Amino acid sequence: MYGGANETRYANDIEDVVAEIQGRESQSRTIRGAYFSALRLISLQTRNSAAYKGIMALVYRESCRDFMKGTTMDIVKSMDESPDIHHIFPEAYCSKQGYPKSKWNSIINKTPLLPESNRQIGGTAPSKYSQKIMKAAQIDEEQLRLRVESHLVNYDAFIQDDFDTYFIDRAKAIMKVIEGAMEKTISDKGRLSVYGRK
């Protein structure tokens, strides 16, 4: 809602928030007017927009865990271990497979991870880099599954390099947490499922 001209929205929100604080009736104009389109997930390619940052905050709130260390991303505070946003299906792998950039570079294929995990991921398929992670981190597959699934990822599709199933399932999982945060239904969810299979 703050992606366009903001002056009127700021003014309305100040009035509405002050009314809430004072116990008066609030119009809650931004909350009532807020909506989210499923196809917006495809257009979120960079971290510049408020929507991108909001969705990543929701992923953090799910207590996602680093693939290598198992650390919960929302408690990482050290500058040496600062998480960054990385592709789950790596860019090099997706490009080699001929997947559309609009899909693999969207927020649906991105998540916060620590640098050590990103180094293990490299440019290889999930089925390959998952083996490297289990060996380097000395964990079994069940532990890796827990860590991967904490990022709203369908582990079975991930481990089988099934990008289309992974993509649709992660989009659905992200939309579910968006709906929970907004307390509203995303009305066009079916449109993304059709797009995802192309």
Q: What is the pLDDT of residues 4-55, one digit of tens each?
A: 667 888 888 999 999 999 999 988 888 888 889 999 999 999 988 888 999 9
Give the C-alpha distances (Å, rounded to integers) separating 101 from 70, 105, 162, 192. Answer: 29, 5, 16, 16
- pTM for this predicted structure: 0.86
Q: What is the pLDDT of residues 62-119, one digit of tens each?
A: 999 999 999 888 766 544 567 889 999 999 999 999 999 999 999 999 999 999 999 9
